[in-house]
């Protein structure tokens, strides 16, 4: 591969609730880039990120930040101002994907099925049932299943965490219908939907611990589902990627209810900066199709640009 860029600043860490995951993603990406001949320098992002980047003098920026500030358009806007080529999605797509309710509105316009839901205050969600159970409560602008709760039939009231003074995940929450069935995910690399992975876990649901703890989940790829459902997931992932205006690597998460009429698949959300840890799904799918992790990271870097 011909290299447009040589010195790469890998942004990691930051100060969102997903800091630890980002530290792992950034370290893994930097190691892979160095392995294939780049000069990758790791930057643990602080609010003084502009100066950190000026000191590093990179040719391009590999954004391995997750969650608020790093994945919601804020850092992307800074990189545009600094006129630094950067990876993954741009300002608008990042902001839309991070705001789950606005992303659902885009999906609706694009005829991409998504569970019905609405925004309420966390005080309202904590006060009693806000829709018929079972339903899901989740922060409207967080990733990695941070702060997600399932309210089931017979539950007396929503979790006490919603009223805790330590809650730092925003005052608005998304409540949406719980879709029973199977957890599926599809990574999109540029204009190519890779494959379908099924995720199973022995925990209550696919939460933060299931995603990142060793043994927290099992990945089956390709997913053992009917070919028609595979095709549907691949099509929906690529359409969602395009509808939001995503660039580079993204990952769409789905619920598949095999007992519903028409074998219904629902798109839950898009991750514009999928994890790059040892348990991450997008690198696993790329490897399944013959793209090694260093090759994937190099592709992400060479796709970098300004004004994404």
Residues in the chain: 308
Q: Which residues, other chains included, contact 28 with Cβ-Cβ below 8 Å and sequence gap of 6+?
A: 276, 277, 278, 293
Could you identify the residue written with the tokens 């919601």? 72
Q: Which residues are catalytic?
A: 18, 144, 212, 251, 253, 269, 271, 275
| Token pair in block for residue 3 | 């290299």
Residue-range domain boundaries for the chain:
7-88+294-302, 96-113+180-291, 117-177
Q: What is the pLDDT of residues 159-186, one digit of tens each?
A: 777 877 677 777 889 999 999 899 999 9
Same fold, 7-88+294-302 and 96-113+180-291: no
Residue 146: predicted pLDDT: 66
* H/E run at residue 233: helix 227-244
**Dist CA 75 CA 8 (whole Å):** 16
Put simply, whether the predicted model's pTM sits higher than 0.75 gets the answer yes
Q: What is the pLDDT of residues 34-68, one digit of tens each?
A: 999 999 999 999 999 999 999 999 999 999 999 88
Percent of the chain beyond pLDDT 70? 91
Strand order in the sheet with 265-271: 218-220, 192-200, 182-189, 249-256, 265-271
Q: What is the pLDDT of residues 98-117, one digit of tens each?
A: 999 999 999 999 999 999 99
Query: CATH number of the domain at 7-88+294-302, please?
Result: 3.40.50.20
Query: CATH number of the domain at 96-113+180-291, please?
Result: 3.30.470.20
**Dist CA 189 CA 238 (whole Å):** 9
């Amino acid at each position: 591969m011909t290299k447009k860029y040589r010195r790469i600043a890998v942004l990691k860490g930051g100060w969102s609730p997903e800091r630890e995951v980002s530290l792992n993603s950034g370290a893994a990406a930097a190691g892979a880039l160095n392995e294939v001949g780049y000069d990758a320098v790791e930057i643990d992002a602080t609010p003084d990120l502009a100066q950190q980047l000026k000191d590093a003098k990179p040719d391009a920026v590999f954004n391995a930040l997750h969650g608020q500030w790093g994945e919601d358009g804020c850092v992307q806007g800074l990189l545009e101002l600094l006129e630094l080529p950067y990876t993954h999605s741009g300002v608008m797509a990042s902001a839309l994907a991070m705001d789950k309710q606005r992303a659902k509105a885009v999906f609706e316009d694009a005829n991409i099925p998504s569970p019905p839901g609405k925004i309420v205050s966390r005080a309202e969600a904590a006060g009693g049932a806000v829709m018929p159970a079972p339903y899901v409560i989740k922060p409207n602008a967080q990733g990695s299943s941070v702060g997600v709760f399932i309210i089931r039939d017979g539950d007396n009231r929503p979790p006490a965490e919603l009223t805790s003074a330590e809650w730092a995940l925003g005052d608005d929450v998304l409540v949406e219908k719980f879709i029973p069935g199977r957890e599926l995910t599809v990574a999109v690399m540029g204009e190519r939907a890779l494959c379908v992975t099924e995720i199973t876990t022995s925990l209550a649901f696919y939460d933060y611990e299931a995603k990142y703890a060793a043994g927290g989940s099992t990945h089956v790829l390709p997913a053992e589902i009917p070919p028609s459902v595979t095709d549907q997931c691949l099509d929906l992932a690529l359409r969602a990627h395009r509808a939001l205006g995503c660039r580079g690597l993204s990952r769409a998460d789905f619920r598949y209810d095999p007992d519903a009429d028409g074998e219904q698949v629902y798109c839950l959300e898009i991750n514009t900066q999928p994890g790059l840890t040892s348990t991450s799904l997008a690198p696993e799918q790329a490897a399944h199709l013959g793209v090694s992790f260093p090759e994937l990271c190099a592709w992400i870097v060479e796709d970098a640009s300004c004004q994404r």
